[in-house]
Amino acid sequence: MIKRNYLINLIIWTCCFFGAHVSWAQETDFPNRPIRLIVPIAPGGGTDIIGRKVAQKLSDLLPQGVFVENKAGAGSLIGTEFVAKAPSDGYTLLVGGLFNMVMNKALMKNLPYDPAKDFIPLGYISSYAFVVSTRADLPVNNLAEMVKLMKDKPGQYSFGSAGIGTLQHVWGTILLNGLGLDLIHVPFKGAPQAYQEMMAGRLDMIFDNISACKGYIQAGKLKGLAVSSEKRSAVFPQLPTVNETSLTKFTGESWFGIFAPAGTPAGVVAKLRQALIMVNKDPEFVALVEKDGGRVLNIPAAEQQAFLLDEINRWVPMVSKNNIKVD
């Protein structure tokens, strides 16, 4: 009996030793093949662009390189769930953001992943204010004038979005509710169609990412009225924040980060986090983000999970309070 127990203990110890040795080897040897960065959105959009910028910079830092793979569909669910269920080895990463790590949880009852439990944040990359914009010929010059005009004729003005459940729809609804406005929501299959309708005079307002609308505003094709950030934007310093107008309270920025599946070894996480710190310090990368109207988002590793939880705890109740649904 003693001999049998000794053999069992020896086998267990041996398995633990070799398992730990393999894990240690994986961490010290990482990466020994290319890393796949999943973008859960179709090519060409803002999420894809920022993902490719990060992949390029990481490839300069990591010996085996990083390549982007788009896994679009079901409003970012397919790609995000794919990474949640991928091997926890550091070779499959996700471009995550407010859209798929927070808003999906707020809008969908049976989300096939838990953003707070199924992922490890490796680093946050960039953050972008939203801008309240109107068509160029709307007879208003500031947010107060827009509110007065639209309150005088409730239900006769419209706001656009890139689709039901998108951030333009969700944040637009929350903002307009706070302003006491009754606008018709017109969802499109993408933001470019909404802008075309605005420039044609058939759509009145949009609340969208500064990177998407700044070119139209700078060209005089749209009017920018206010920004959603806590502080004024360096791109449009003349525009007040929504809070400065004292018409309602709204502060928010659309952010992006890089995530790994839960259970990824600590050594691998540490290497990837260090690489992302270097990306955020790269002058060319910083210039690219700022040129798009954003800012680099530097959050220490010890605070990254708390940041995600704070965003979830903030926006999920807000969406419910405003009775915003996707079905």
Q: How far apart are CA 114 and CA 118, in angstroms?
A: 5
Q: What is the CATH number of the domain that holds 311?
A: 3.40.190.150
Round the average pLDDT of the chain to a whole number and report it: 91
**Residue 186 and residue 90 in one domain:** no
Q: How far apart are CA 294 and CA 184, in angstroms?
A: 29
**Residue 188 and residue 226 in one domain:** yes
Domain that holds residue 185: 129-245
pLDDT in tens, 200-219: 999 999 999 999 999 999 99
Q: Is residue 9 part of a domain?
A: no
**Residue 229 and residue 285 in one domain:** no
**Residue 265 and residue 117 in one domain:** yes
Q: Is residue 261 part of a domain?
A: yes
User: Are the CB atoms for 135 and 222 separated by under 8 Å?
Assistant: yes
User: Are the CB atoms for 100 and 111 separated by under 8 Å?
Assistant: no
Better-predicted residue by pLDDT, 16 or 291: 291
In the structure encoding, which two tokens stand for residue 288, read together?
């690219």
In the structure encoding, which two tokens stand for residue 230, read together?
């806590």
Domain boundary among 192, 223, 245: 245
Mean pLDDT confidence for 28-46: 90
Q: What is the pLDDT of residue 23?
A: 47
**Residue 141 and residue 121 in one domain:** no
Mean pLDDT confidence for 51-75: 93
Mean pLDDT confidence for 48-65: 94
Q: Is residue 2 part of a domain?
A: no
Q: How far apart are CA 87 and CA 262, in angstroms?
A: 9
Q: How far apart are CA 196 and CA 21, in angstroms?
A: 59
Q: Is residue 303 part of a domain?
A: yes
**Taking 70 as the threshold, does the pLDDT of residue 92 lie above it?**
yes
Which DSSP letter does residue 206 get?
E
Q: What is the pLDDT of residue 2?
A: 54
Domain boundary among 245, 273, 303: 245
**Taking 60 as the threshold, does the pLDDT of residue 137 lie above it?**
yes
**Residue 218 and residue 141 in one domain:** yes
**Residue 225 and residue 265 in one domain:** no
**Count of domains forming the chain:** 2
Domain boundary among 216, 245, 274: 245
Which DSSP letter does residue 40 get?
S
Q: What angle do CA 61, 82, 266 make, to 5 degrees?
A: 45
**Residue 215 and residue 266 in one domain:** no
Q: What is the pLDDT of residue 11?
A: 57
In the structure encoding, which two tokens stand for residue 221, read together?
């094709």
Q: What is the pLDDT of residue 170?
A: 96
Which among 182, 135, 139 is positioned nearest to 157, based on CA atoms? 182
Q: How far apart are CA 121 and CA 112, in angstroms?
A: 18
> How distant is the alpha carbon of residue 79 from its chain centre?
14
User: Are the CB atoms for 212 and 191 separated by under 8 Å?
Assistant: yes
Q: How far apart are CA 227 and CA 5, in angstroms?
A: 69
Q: What is the CATH number of the domain that holds 165?
A: 3.40.190.10
Q: How far apart are CA 162 and CA 327, in angstroms?
A: 16
Q: How far apart are CA 183 and CA 65, in angstroms?
A: 48
